[in-house]
A and B are shown apart, each in its own frame.
Chain A
């Protein structure tokens, strides 16, 4: 249960200890006094604008209440005011560290509603993007988590690798962070020629970097002292608070949507779901580090099995097909309107030509059906699509009434639920543990407030 007691609105000031001179308690024969520290909304380690009204006694946290909403940009209301496609660019801002996932849930919800078929190549490109995005998100988490613990250098190391992946994103989407790349039934554009090799180059390098990170942090006695046995949660607690993602897997439960409800083409790739049994901060750390390696494993398989291969070859193939198609069309034309002095080609020959050059497989395409994005109207209905984002289960509940605008879009952000457990984990712990525990939950405030 959250700590919030039944209280009327405007009650924060009335809480005991809000003014300094209340809540005097006697402990160990000392007259101690509770103090309310208002951590945030601007604070170095709240990762955004979160306010934690914290009652501390000395350094011990007695009570904590998260106050959110400082970053509320009414994303859900915005969806009702613009067309499905116009809403897309704003989705990136729902969760800017792994926005491919938000796009994916939105796009898949619409694809399910409108029954759009998605070519395999598209799914593969999407999966590569998402898995790389998982790595960048976890890298940022690694950097900021250790920064919260006081180590400054890993932050820069993590950003170095993150930048290399952002370069890949920039090549394929045109943007480093705000991608807006997935489309209904496809992606915006095919990967540029040579992109797959670039990806391979980067992810071949990454495991060595991860080894370096683990050499810095894994056996560091200070990191171990601050993480092991801190913020321990049980599986039931996590369920009660709706916490998902790496935090849940750190409790020994392999709950990963990619395995349990395989979406996209995740049933075609081999990977493990890293788990740990301890349920503490260190376990969450280990799970995330292992997840990055699994993501690399997935991306390797996707690159190897990409339908159509590199886009340079695909373009060449497409050109050949277009040439043949042109010839056929010309021949067909000549069949129907043969000129005076010209011998009309045999219709059977033309049919043979067409047989020889079949169309490119559907799976090689980067758009399923041509969709007119401006007037796109999925039929009335609703869809709740989910995805395993780096922070847990991310869902999008989309209700359509058949008009070009969504009737309702509801985001199920993983951070929103993950944040609810923070007070119960913090009470009784030391104030500096807040940074370890809060950091280990990997909460991103835009997703909480939306």
Chain B
């Protein structure tokens, strides 16, 4: 199985736009699109969770619609670093329909994404973590500061181009 997988072309591929043909909306995406919300269908992930791509400007609207549809539990906010751009991935769960949905929001050049705290307060720490490790700024977050790393840490360690060059650290002081 593993040997049969095609060699990935690292240069121009990221997992998100691997799809060769346009993907149709799943039932959830369709329902949201019917409400007049702009979103991009990204198909299902390997486990079968529907994935929706949402632009920064539409995020809060989509989020509100999803919350009203019963996605009341925010599971996690993951920062992704695709080298050219950062992406905030939000996993939501519905305690009514037991579905999981993935929202992907590409951050712009200034690495800014609207914060989901007004809609799911649970996003608070998750967004702080994403900011801390990935450097994505969440606009509208009430208390965006580092959470896992020391408060005076330099850089965002989960970025692909991160190098630990803090001159204060002993092992960097040669």
Contact = CB atoms under 8 A, between A and B. Distances in A.
B1 A10 contact: no
Interface stretch (A50-58, A314-322, A401-409): A401-409
Nearest to B159: A77
Interface string B95-113: 1001010100000000000
Most buried by A among B1, B75, B126: B1
B5 interface: yes
Given A402-B7, A412-B91, A74 B73 contact: no
A378 B45 CA distance: 13
B10 A240 contact: no
A239 B73 contact: yes
A86 to B, nearest CB: 14
B73 A115 contact: no
Contacts of B48: 112
B15 interface: yes
Given A114-B1, A244-B73, A378-B2, A239 B80 contact: no
B143 interface: yes
Contacts of B14: 401
Nearest to A257: B98
A399 interface: yes
Contact of B5 (A10, A244, A253, A402): A402
B54 interface: no
Interface in A321-380: 369, 371-372, 375-380
B121 to A, nearest CB: 4
B46 A260 contact: no
A72 B122 CA distance: 21
Nearest to A66: B125
A384 B91 contact: yes
B74 A242 contact: yes
B161 interface: no
A109 B121 contact: no
Interface stretch (A1-9, A151-159, A300-308): A1-9
A352 B162 CA distance: 64
Most buried by A among B7, B91, B148, B160: B148
B84 interface: no
A74 B159 CA distance: 12
Interface residues of B, number: 54
Interface in A4-21: 4-11
- Interface of B, helix, strand, loop or mixed by DSSP: loop
B13 A401 contact: yes
A416 interface: yes
Contacts of B18: 380-381
| Chain A interface category by residue count | 35 or more
Contacts of B124: 1-2, 4, 420
Contact of B1 (A116, A395, A419, A449): A116
Interface stretch (B21-29, B55-63, B150-158, B166-174): B150-158
A290 interface: no
Contacts of A77: 157-158
A2 B145 CA distance: 14
Given A255-B95, A384-B45, A393-B75, A378 B121 contact: no
Contacts of B75: 242, 386, 393, 395, 412, 417
B38 interface: no
Nearest to B16: A382
B98 A260 contact: yes
A272 to B, nearest CB: 17
Given A7-B143, A112-B47, A402-B5, A261 B151 contact: no
Contacts of A114: 1-2, 5
A69 B157 contact: no
A401 B5 contact: no
B34 interface: no
Contacts of B129: 416
A64 to B, nearest CB: 14
Top 6 A-B residue pairs of the complex, sorted by shortest distance between their CB atoms: A402-B8, A242-B122, A383-B46, A112-B46, A412-B76, A410-B78
29 contacts: A4-B142, A9-B152, A69-B147, A69-B150, A72-B149, A108-B47, A113-B46, A116-B1, A239-B73, A239-B122, A242-B74, A255-B95, A375-B2, A376-B2, A377-B2, A378-B5, A380-B13, A384-B47, A384-B49, A395-B76, A401-B10, A402-B8, A402-B13, A408-B78, A412-B75, A416-B125, A417-B75, A417-B125, A449-B148
Interface of A: 1-2, 4-11, 68-69, 72, 74, 76-77, 80, 108-109, 112-116, 239-242, 244, 253, 255, 260-261, 369, 371-372, 375-386, 393, 395, 397, 399-403, 407-408, 410, 412, 416-417, 419-420, 449-450
Given A109-B46, A380-B18, 14 more contacts: A2-B143, A5-B142, A7-B143, A113-B46, A114-B2, A369-B1, A378-B2, A381-B46, A384-B45, A384-B102, A402-B6, A402-B7, A408-B81, A410-B89
